[in-house]
Structure 1
Amino acid sequence: MRIISGKYAKRNLFTLKSNKTRPTSDKVKESLFNSLGQFFNGGNVLDLYAGSGALGIEAVSRGYDHASLVDINHAACSIIKKNVALTKEENLFSVYNMRSNTALKLFAENQEKFDLVFLDPPYAKEKIAKDMLQMNKLGLLNSSATIVAETDDHTELGDISGFSLIKEYHLGKTIVRIYRKD
């Protein structure tokens, strides 16, 4: 797995050697960023189930200002920190080893707001809608924030109040849904 484009392009990333995380493949990541617009002009990113941190690092590589990378797994956070160190710009990243709901509350207390959010939780159907509604309730999203939800091909999400599904595409057994905050 590597960083595909931007200022950190072609750097190989470390991954957790465990079945507890499912790294987003380079093919899915490239397709995802192609559909988001490839390059960006600032903003804050949140990856709430960061795994290796690849999506948040890719977003900063392509022009976002800062990424908050959250994972409950201690070993995953160690890998994220190693990957962030590869950028040589550690100040552009914050790594949080905690539960997703604890992180959301912390971000609300700190009055943080996000422009792009990645959601790829282990139990997608139950968590994605809850997380999106919670972020909206806590005021964590800037106007017209983009939420990227990644699931397997058996997971249906349905309508999520306060958000519009703007794009959905299938890449093998992965479905990527892109939502915009209403």
Structure 2
Amino acid sequence: MRVISGEKRGLPLKAVPGSTTRPTTDKVKESIFNMIGPYFQGGLALDLYAGSGGLGIEALSRGIERTIFVDQNRKAIETIKLNLKQCSFEESSEVYRNDADRALKALIKRELAFTVIFLDPPYAKQALVNEMSIIADFHLLEPSGVIVCEHANTVSLPDRIQNFSKKKEETYGDTVISIYAFD
């Protein structure tokens, strides 16, 4: 696992120890950024089920100004911090150990709007439609922003979730990437 492109291209990233976290493969990560970017002129990202932090770190390397990383697993938080240090991104990131629901509620209070939101929950615990509804209800995505959902190919997400519509969907083996944005 590595940073694919941008300022920190080629730097290796550590995976979360154990088998509870499923890292996004380099091939899928590259495809995601080809669909949504591939580069950014600043902005704020949210990596809600951050795992090793690979997606949020890739966004930072490609020009996102700041990324908020959230995961409820202690080992994941330690791995994110190690990877941020490896890439010298500690100053442009925030890392929180929390579950997704509580994290979204905390972000609502801060009145933030994100350029890109990564939702890559454990496949067995997906609540993507509910989480996107919260994002819509509380204006957590800026008008030109995108939501990237990574989910199992056994999950079919609707074409519309509130005022978001599915713009792209690609399948990579048992993984599906669905990109949502405002109409």
TM bucket (normalised to shorter chain) is over 0.9
Give the match for residue 111 of structure 1. 111
TM-score, structure 1 normalization: 0.95
Matches of 1:134 and 1:10 in 2, distance apart? 35
SS of 2:161's equivalent?
coil
> Does 1:86 pair with 2:86?
yes
For residue 124 of structure 1, report the CA deviation from its aligned partner. 6.5
Contact 2:17–2:75 under 8 Å retained in 1 = no
- The residue aligned with 2:173 is 172
**Corresponding position of 1:181:** 182
- Report what 1:135 is aligned to: 135
Q: CA deviation at 1:114?
A: 0.5
Q: Which residue of the partner structure matches residue 163 of structure 1? A: 164
User: By how many angstroms is 1:133 displaced?
Assistant: 0.5
Gapped regions of structure 2 (runs ≥ 5) = none
How far, CA to CA, are the matches of 1:123 and 1:43 in structure 2? 28
Matches of residues 1-182 of structure 1 in structure 2 within 5 Å?
Answer: 1-123=1-123, 126-158=126-158, 159-182=160-183
- Work out whether residues 146 and 180 of structure 2, in 8 Å CA contact, stay in contact via their aligned partners in 1: yes
2-structure distance, mates of 1:175, 1:39: 22
The answer (yes or no) to whether the contact 2:6–2:63 under 8 Å persists in 1 is yes
How much does 1:144 deviate? 2.8
RMSD: 1.3
Q: Structure 2-normalised TM-score?
A: 0.95
Call closer, same or farther: CA 1:162–1:124 in 2, change over 3 Å.
farther
Contact 1:45–1:56 (CA<8 Å) still a contact in 2?
yes
Distance in 1 (alpha carbons) for counterparts of 2:147 and 2:3: 20
**What secondary structure does 1:106 align onto?**
helix
Partners of 2:71 and 2:131 lie apart in 1 by 14
Question: Number of aligned pairs?
Answer: 182
Unaligned runs of at least 5 residues, structure 1: none
**Which amino acid in structure 1 is aligned with residue 129 of structure 2?**
A
Q: Distance in 2 between matches of 1:37 and 1:122?
A: 25
Give the distance between the partners of 2:27 and 2:52, measured in 1 at CA. Answer: 16
Q: Return the letter of the residue paired with 1:168.
A: E
Deviation at 1:125, TM superposition (A): 7.7
In the TM superposition, structure 1's runs of 4+ consecutive aligned residues that sit over 3 Å from their partners are: 123-126
